Amino acid sequence: MHDLVEFAVEKALELGASYAEARFEEKTGTSIAMKNGVPEGLSILADKGIGIRVLVDGGMGFASTNVLTKESISEAVKKAVKLARAASKVRNEPIVFSEEDFHRVSYKVKMKKDFRDFSPEEKLELLRKVEEEVKATGVNVPMRYLSYSDQLWKKVFLNSEGAYVKSKIPRVSITYNLVVFENGQMEQAPFVQRAFSGGLELIEKDEPWSWAVKDVLALKKLIYEGQKPPEGRVDLVISPEVVGIAVHESVGHPYEADRIFGREAAQAGESFVKPDMLGERIGSEAVTVIEDPTIPNSWGFYLYDDEGVKARPRYLIKDGIITEFLTNREYAAKLGQRSNASARAINYNREPIVRMANTYLAPGDYSFEELIEDIKLGVYMVSFNEWNIDDRRYQQRYIGREAYLIENGEIKHPVRRPILEITTRALWSSVDAVGKEVEFFPGTCGKGEPGQGVPVWMGGAHARLRNIPLRRP
C-alpha cells in the first residue's frame, strides 16, 4: 500500500498542491447482535480505501476512493486539487499548517486473544453469557438488545513533509439495552457499552455481564424502593461515569480549536471559550482535566494522529485554570502553537478534524467515604441516561439512572431521576473534592459533516459538588 499512498502524494504535488497527504485505511471485523435471546445475524466488515487531502493556494480539498488502482487514485487526486483551488477563491486568508517534527514509525496494539481466531458462534457466547446472567437475577427484563463488535483498523499515513505512520489497532466492544419491567413500572439502561483497544481478553476481564447484572438489579431496586430526589440546593457526588460525560461535553468539546474559531458552527456549534481565555479560571482548584490518547488499551487510543503528529497527554484544565486547547495543524498555526495531535478521521473517506480521545478528571486525594461523610443532604449519581448540552457547550443537563440519597454521611435509598441542569462554569466551580480512583467509560463522539463517530473514553475520579441546585422531573 506504501506505493499507492506515495503515488497519491507525489501526484498531488505535481498538480500544484503545496501540501499533500494520503491515508490508506482498512477495517475488517465482525459484529453480531442478539435481540430478546434470538441471534440477529452476522455482519462482516471489510472496508478499505484512500483519502487524499491537499492545500492549493491556501484552499483545502479532500477526495477519497475505494477503487484502489492508480487510475482511480489519480482521478481522486485531480479532484482534490481542483476542489482546493476552487475553494481558495472563496477564502479571506489562506490555510496554513503549523510546523511539526515528523517521524517514520510503525506501531500496533497487541491482542493476547486475537478475535480473528474465534468463530462468530464463540463471540455469540459472550452475548449468551450476558443473557444468562441477566436471567439468573430473576428480574423481569422483557426487552434485551445486545451486540458484539470487533474491528481491526490498519492505517498507512504519508504526507509531503516526511511523515510516514503505519498503525494497527484492534478494537472490541459489547453494547446492551435492557428494559426492566417490575411492579407495573419500567426502567431502562440503554446503549451501555464496554469497549477497549485490544483483544478478546479485555472483554473477558471486564465481564460486561457483571455490568448488566448490576444495572438490572439497580433498576429493580429503583422501581421498588426509589423515592423522589431532594430538590433545591444540595450536595452532589457524581461517579466516574457521570464525571466522564461532563468532562467530555463541557470541557473537551468547548476546547476544540476548530469549534472556537467557528469552523464547526453550522453543525456541532461554536464554543463559549475564546482564544483569549487561556489562563482564565473556569473551575475550582480541585479540577484538573486531562485528554490523553496514549492510555494503553483505551477505546480512544492512538500514538500518532491523522496528520502524522505524535500524541501526548494534554492538560485542558490544570487546578481550575484553562491551560490548553485541542488543536490540529490548521488551528495550531492560528494560535501560533505546535499541534497537540488532536486530528482524527474515522475512516479513509473522512477528513481529519479536531477530536478528543480519552478525557478524564484527574484524581484528587479523597476516598469515597471521605467524599460523603460530611454531606448532610445530597445525592450520589452513579449512572445517567438523558444528557445534552447547548452548542456553545455551556448549558447542560444529566439525568441520573442509578442514584441514591445521601443523608448524614450515609448512602440511603435510591432516588428517581435526579436532574443536574447547570452551566459549565457553575459545574466546575462547585467541585470541592475529587476521589482517588480513576475509571473510564467508552463512548462514540459525534462531530463533523458527514458525521464522524470516533471512539473515545470518558471518565475520571468521583467528584463532589457543593450546594448546587438539583431538580426532579
Partner 1 sequence: MFDVNEFILKKAKELGFGDVVVLSHEMNRRQIRFANNEITVAKNWHERKVELFVELEKRVAGTTITELSEENIERTLKTLLSNMKGMSPKEDYYGIAEGPFQYRDIPETFDKAIVELDELGEYVERAINAALEEGAKRVAGVLYTDHNRLYLTTSNGVEAFDEGTGIEISVRAFIGDLESGHGTNSVRVLKKFDPESAGRKAGEIASLARNPEQGPEGKFDVIFDPLAFANLLSYMSFMTSAYAAEAGFSFLVNKLNQKVASELVTIKDIGNLPNGYGSRKFDDEGVPTRETTIIENGTFKTFLLNTSLAKKYGTETTANAGLIMPRAWNILLEPGDYTREELFEEVKRGIYITNVWYTRFQNYVAGDFSTIPRDGIFLVENGELRPIRNIRVSDNFQRILEGIKALGKESHHIHWWEVRTPVSTPYVLVKDVGITRATI
Q: Considering the rule CB under 8 A, would residue 389 count as an interface residue with partner 1?
A: yes
User: Which of 9, 20, 22, 76 touches partner 1 by CB under 8 A?
Assistant: 76
Q: Which of 269, 313 has the CB closer to partner 1?
A: 269
Q: Which of 197, 424 has the CB closer to partner 1?
A: 424
Q: Which stretch binds partner 1 (CB under 8 A): 149-157, 161-169, 319-327, 413-421?
A: 413-421
Omega prior to 352 cis, within 30 of 0: no
Phi-psi sector, 209: left (phi>0), alpha (psi -120 to 50), beta = alpha
User: Which of 267, 294, 297, 323 touches partner 1 by CB under 8 A?
Assistant: 267
Q: Which of 31, 239 has the CB closer to partner 1?
A: 31
Q: Considering the rule CB under 8 A, would residue 426 count as an interface residue with partner 1?
A: yes
Cell numbers 476516598 label which residue?
367
- Closest approach, Cβ 461 to partner 1, in A, equals 23
- Closest approach, Cβ 98 to partner 1, in A, equals 17
The CA distance from 307 to 355, in Å, is 12
The CA distance from 148 to 419, in Å, is 31
Q: Which stretch binds partner 1 (CB under 8 A): 75-83, 205-213, 286-294, 301-309?
A: 75-83
User: Which of 7, 102, 145, 368 touches partner 1 by CB under 8 A?
Assistant: 145
Q: Considering the rule CB under 8 A, would residue 411 count as an interface residue with partner 1?
A: no
- Closest approach, Cβ 247 to partner 1, in A, equals 17
Q: Which stretch binds partner 1 (CB under 8 A): 57-65, 108-116, 306-314, 357-365?
A: 57-65
Q: Considering the rule CB under 8 A, would residue 306 count as an interface residue with partner 1?
A: no
Binding residues for partner 1, total number by CB under 8 A = 91
Q: Which of 270, 307 has the CB closer to partner 1?
A: 270
The CA distance from 310 to 324, in Å, is 16
Q: Which of 89, 369 has the CB closer to partner 1?
A: 89
Q: Three-state SS across 128-155?
A: HHHHHHHHHCCCCCCEEEEEEEEEEEEE
Q: Considering the rule CB under 8 A, would residue 87 count as an interface residue with partner 1?
A: yes
Burial 183-194 (b: 16+ CB within 10 A, else e): eeeebbbeebbb
The CA distance from 24 to 155, in Å, is 6
Q: What is the contact mask toward partner 1 in residues 110 to 129, using x (rule: CB under 8 A)? A: ---------xxx--x-----
State the virtual CA torsion across 225, 231, 235, 241 in degrees, nearest 10: 60
Q: Considering the rule CB under 8 A, would residue 182 count as an interface residue with partner 1?
A: no
Q: What is the contact mask toward partner 1 in residues 225 to 254, using x (rule: CB under 8 A)? A: ------------------------------
CA distances 368 to 353, 363, 379, Å, are 38, 12, 13
Q: Considering the rule CB under 8 A, would residue 184 count as an interface residue with partner 1?
A: no
Q: What is the contact mask toward partner 1 in residues 440 to 459, using x (rule: CB under 8 A)? A: ---------xxx--------
The CA distance from 310 to 339, in Å, is 9
Q: Considering the rule CB under 8 A, would residue 16 count as an interface residue with partner 1?
A: no
Cell numbers 513533509 label which residue?
161
What is the DSSP code string of 267-314?
TT---S--GGGTT-B-S-TT--EEE-TTSTT-TT--SB-TTSPBP--E
What angle do the packed helices 70-88 and 2-14 form, to 10 degrees? 40
Q: Which of 145, 315 has the CB closer to partner 1?
A: 145
What angle do the packed helices 208-225 and 120-136 form, to 10 degrees? 30
Q: CA torsion sign, 318 to 324 to 326 to 328?
A: negative
Q: Considering the rule CB under 8 A, would residue 413 count as an interface residue with partner 1?
A: no
User: Which of 3, 71, 184, 266 touches partner 1 by CB under 8 A?
Assistant: 266
- Closest approach, Cβ 287 to partner 1, in A, equals 16
Cell numbers 485528554 label which residue?
291
Please state the φ and ψ torsions of residue 139, each to the nearest 5 degrees: -80, 145
User: Which of 18, 72, 137, 444 touches partner 1 by CB under 8 A?
Assistant: 72
Q: Which of 214, 263 has the CB closer to partner 1?
A: 263
Q: Considering the rule CB under 8 A, would residue 79 count as an interface residue with partner 1?
A: yes
User: Which of 10, 39, 74, 133 touches partner 1 by CB under 8 A?
Assistant: 39
| Subset of residues 336 to 355 that bind partner 1, contact rule: CB under 8 A | 349, 351
Q: Considering the rule CB under 8 A, would residue 183 count as an interface residue with partner 1?
A: no
Distance from the Cα of residue 394 to its chain's centroid: 19
The CA distance from 406 to 226, in Å, is 13
The CA distance from 394 to 274, in Å, is 13
